[in-house]
Structure 1
Amino acid sequence: MDITFLLIAILALFLFSYEIKDAKSIMLLAIWSSIVAFLGLKGVFVEKPHFLAIVLVGTTLICLTIIQLLKNRRFNIKTLLLIHILRIPVEFILYKLFISNQLPIIMTFRGYNFDILIGLCALLILIGLKFFDQSKLKSIIRIWSVFGMISLSSVLLMGILSSPIPIQQFAFDQPNVAVLYFPFVLLPTLLVPIVFMSHIFI
């Protein structure tokens, strides 16, 4: 499961880097994710969970910086849709983490996480683009992207508020401890930002 998730995160980074083709943005993501991964491997977040909150602030700033750098660029929607399809296997990994008592049920498709549907819709849109011009699917893509961002934001918020950090609000009986460990610490610090930025660029 750990290796599968790590491969998904690396694939998402590869697809995103391949599409944006911006050295500064790629360097920011690569360096930041390497630092976070190193801290995760060293068990820093397990010993001091509040450090994760600081890292999430840094992740947000990097995400906003990249959006600013690429705000006037046009991208191939098909490559970005491939990134969203990766949400499907991620959901099954989250469910396995729930079964192993590493995160609350609300963060899975049995709770309030609808990301698996967003991923499946991305797959359907990608198939649709083989038969229809992108302009004909523009409204559908826009509506899907809005719902996708809402779903992603809600899951991220649930993940943060159920983590054992000072701002934890619920899931005290089974908190989101998975993100304190490598490689799952890359979920909120690499994978989620890439998926969110892919929505923005679509």
Structure 2
Amino acid sequence: MTILFCGFVVLMVAVVIGLSARYLDRRSASVFAAGLLVWLLYVGCIGYFGVIRNVTMRPPGPVFLFLPVIALLVLFIVRTRSTAGAHLAQAFPLWILLGTQVFRVGVELFLHQLWHAGLVPKMLTFSGANVDIYVGATAPLIAWVATRGGMGRRVALVWNGVGLLILANIVARAVLTAPGPLHLVHTEVPNLMIGTFPFMFIPGFFVPLAVVLHVLAIRAVGGAMKRAAPAS
């Protein structure tokens, strides 16, 4: 499973960098690719050398993963509210921003296997309280619906909002079931995935990727609806 997961990470990194190279200008794509690779190297190092799973250090190891992720996402969301953010969202076809979320099906299948391996509690899988797999499974359909006009864009907007709420729910459960000072929800096994190499790329890469795609899609749909309003 470890080799398969590493292959999945490499595949998705290649897809993200490839799409950036295709739809962004050369300078922006190069900066993004370099930044992404540096980030993945950082996450890989703190996972491989056991920093994340060390909850006895001060600050606890998970802080070195979660704090940068939160800071980067907040910065990204703030930036998307600017004119530059609007241009970024419009640089990609809407169906790509929506359809790429299908990768979440793969993530959920790996989480299910991690449950069988005793690294995550059942509630973090689709056999428990995690319905995120349905967001990934419906992504291609929503990508098609969004191209069908105004009603399709409204459906896509609602779908993105629901997807973010579902993601927030599972992230909160993942944090509250992980070892450390925030381990407030006690389950049959703690969430050891966060500090286990290479599966810490789930919170360190796949979760931020899902958030970024949702935010860009919402920005793109909102822009398209505003542009369509005067015409109607």
TM-score category, normalised to shorter length: 0.7 to 0.9
2: distance between equivalents of 1:100 and 1:180?
14
SS for the counterpart of 2:52 is: helix
Question: Can you list the C-alpha shifts for 1:135-155, whole angstroms capped at 9, x where unaligned?
Answer: 441011011101100011111
Tell me whether 1:65 sits opposite 2:80 in the alignment.
Answer: no
Distance 2:180 2:36 in 1: 24
CA distance in 2, matches of 1:7, 1:66: 27
Query: Taking structure 2 as the reference length, what is the TM-score of the superposition?
Result: 0.77
Mapping 1:135-146, distance limit 5 Å: 135-146=150-161
With normalisation by structure 1, the TM-score equals 0.88
Counterpart amino acid of 1:71?
Answer: G
Letter in 1 for 2:102: I
2:134 aligned with 1:117: yes
Question: In angstroms, what is the RMSD of aligned CA positions?
Answer: 2.1
Say if 1:60 and 1:26 are closer, same or farther in 2 by CA, change over 3 A: farther
Hey, what does 2:223 align to over in structure 1? Answer: none
**Structure-to-structure mapping, 1:1-202, within 5 angstroms:** 1-20=1-20, 21=24, 22=28, 23-48=30-55, 50-67=60-77, 68=79, 71-72=85-86, 73=88, 74=90, 75-128=92-145, 132-202=147-217
Structure 1 residue ranges, 4+ long, deviating more than 6 angstroms after superposition: none
Cα distance, 1:117–1:193 mapped onto 2, change above 3 Å: same
Unaligned runs of 5+ in 2: 218-232
Letter in 2 for 1:195: A
User: Which one has more relative contact order, counting CA pairs under 8 Å at least 6 apart?
Assistant: 1
Residue 38 of structure 1 and its aligned partner are, at CA, apart by: 1.5
Figure out how many residues of one structure are paired with residues of the other and give that number: 200
What is the CA-CA distance between 1:39 and the residue it aligns to? 1.9
**Residues in 2 aligned to 1:11 and 1:199: alpha-carbon distance in whole angstroms:** 20
Give unpaired runs (5+ residues) of structure 1.
Answer: none
Indicate conservation of the 8 Å contact 1:106/1:112, yes or no.
Answer: yes
Amino acid at match of 1:28: G
